[in-house]
């Protein structure tokens, strides 16, 4: 694998990489299996959550498990499946609270 085959994220302490599996080693994720339930990425705004949903649905043609919406108080998210069936989430927490605090 080289860096062109993967995408990664870091917060300066932790790194998370997504890459294709090795040939012949593909395993489709099943909900309830031991391991990850899902992985969430915090985005910059609710608008970015909506943009992610449109990209996942329209460009990637990936399955949207739970559409963009308010799942908890001031917690806006979209849930979708990667090609192996792992549930991924794009979310934004606290945007409305922050705007209310600024008087916006």
**Gap between the terminal Cα atoms of the chain:** 47
Model confidence pLDDT, tens digit, residues 76-93: 999 999 887 888 999 999
Architecture (CATH level 2) of domain 38-104: Roll (3.10)
pLDDT band at 53 (very low <50, low <70, confident <90, very high): very high
SS3 15: strand
2 pLDDT more than 50: no
Alpha helices by DSSP H, listed for 10-73, are: 46-54
pLDDT band at 38 (very low <50, low <70, confident <90, very high): confident
Residue 52's pLDDT is what? 95
Sketch the domain layout of the chain as residue ranges.
Answer: 38-104
Q: How many CB atoms lie within 10 A of CB 73?
A: 9
| Of residues 6, 90, 96, 93, the one with CA closest to residue 52 | 90
Cβ partners under 8 Å of residue 94, min gap 6: 74
């Amino acid at each position: 694998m080289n860096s062109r085959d993967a995408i990664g994220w870091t917060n300066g302490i932790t790194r998370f990489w997504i890459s294709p599996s090795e040939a012949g080693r593909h395993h489709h994720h099943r909900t309830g299996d031991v391991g990850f339930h899902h992985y969430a990425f915090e985005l910059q705004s609710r608008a970015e959550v909506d943009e992610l949903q449109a990209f996942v649905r329209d460009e990637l043609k990936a399955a949207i498990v739970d559409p963009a919406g308010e799942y908890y108080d001031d917690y806006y998210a979209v849930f979708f499946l990667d090609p192996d069936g792992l549930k991924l989430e794009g979310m934004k927490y606290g945007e409305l609270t922050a705007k209310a605090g600024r008087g916006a």
